[in-house]
Amino acid sequence: MPLSPGDSPGFLLWHATLRWQRDIATALAPLGLTHVQFVLLACAWWLNTQDEHPNQLALARQAGTDVKMTSQVLRTLEHKGLIEREVDPADTRAKRLRVTDTGADLAPRAIAAVERADVRFFQPVPLDDAVALLGRLAHPET
């Protein structure tokens, strides 16, 4: 017997995800970033702060994004002056990603905006519970 929508974990997750995505989009709009632009910029910025200059594939893996879509979004971030692609001296076919000074200024502000939106969104649930559940759902093999 099928579950009613209100009893279906998948249906509830769908609605929660839609609400969360709207909240994140609203938080990022004043900064001129879409959610996926934010994720890629934030991941590249974080990796750069760890003295890593990833190529597109490594960034896509870090962010959990499709490689082709990552390439398209990186092109947009490059046009916005937030990321630069530099030829990898070890492999001239590959490009290393470096966040520009403008991107390095924007990334932490965007992260703070998203974290504020997350605090509001997850407020009804204890943080440790939310992190534990989402961690298990994101990485069921661990």
Average pLDDT over residues 35-60: 96
pLDDT tens per residue, range 113-124: 999 999 999 999
- Check: CB of residue 37 under 8 Å from CB of residue 51: no
Q: Rounded mean pLDDT of the chain?
A: 94
Which of 94, 41, 95, 84 shows the shortest CA–CA distance to 63? 41
